[in-house]
């Protein structure tokens, strides 16, 4: 579970960085600060994915912060470009983030239980 969460966060972070850079350099109509925000939050999510994988305290909180930042930028972009927020894409994005956080949380708990079991002399 932990590996799946890490991979999902890394893919989402890399996608955000690439999409932000393409929009920033290609000037396809997005705002500069939104594009820079996508790049920044994507890089933070990539870093947080590594922290989540090695179960560093605060890694999951950092990932949640980056995911919330990306969600906020998405809502802002939808409202700014279209004039309204389409609920379906936002719900899919939020659902994906919830699945990633759930996988990371329960994967870290399972990893901790496995390590404690080995430390107690279990196999």
CA 96 – CA 7 distance, rounded (Å): 13
- pLDDT tens-digit readout, 63-116: 999 999 999 999 998 888 777 788 888 999 999 999 999 999 999 999 888 877
Residue 55 falls in which region: left (phi positive, over 0), alpha (psi -120 to 50) or beta:
left
Residues near 103 by beta carbon (within 8 Å), at least 6 away in sequence: 1, 2, 4, 5, 8
- CA-derived radius of gyration, the chain: 17
pLDDT of residue 69: 97
| pTM score, whole prediction | 0.88
pLDDT of residue 12: 97
DSSP label at 56?
Answer: -
- pLDDT tens-digit readout, 29-76: 668 899 999 999 999 999 999 999 999 999 999 999 999 999 999 999
Instruction: Please answer whether residues 52 and 6 qualify as being in contact, where contact means their C-beta atoms are separated by less than 8 angstroms.
Output: yes
């Amino acid at each position: 579970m932990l590996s799946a969460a890490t991979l999902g966060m890394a893919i989402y972070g890399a996608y955000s960085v690439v999409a932000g850079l393409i929009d920033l350099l290609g000037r396809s109509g997005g705002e500069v600060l939104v594009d820079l925000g996508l790049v920044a939050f994507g890089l933070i999510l990539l870093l947080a994915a590594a922290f989540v994988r090695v179960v560093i305290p605060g890694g999951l909180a950092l990932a949640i912060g980056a995911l919330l930042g990306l969600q906020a930028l998405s809502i802002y972009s939808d409202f700014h470009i279209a004039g309204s927020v389409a609920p379906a894409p936002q719900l899919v994005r939020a659902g994906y983030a919830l699945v990633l956080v759930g996988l990371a949380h329960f994967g870290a708990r399972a990893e901790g239980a496995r390590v404690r079991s080995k430390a107690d002399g279990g196999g």
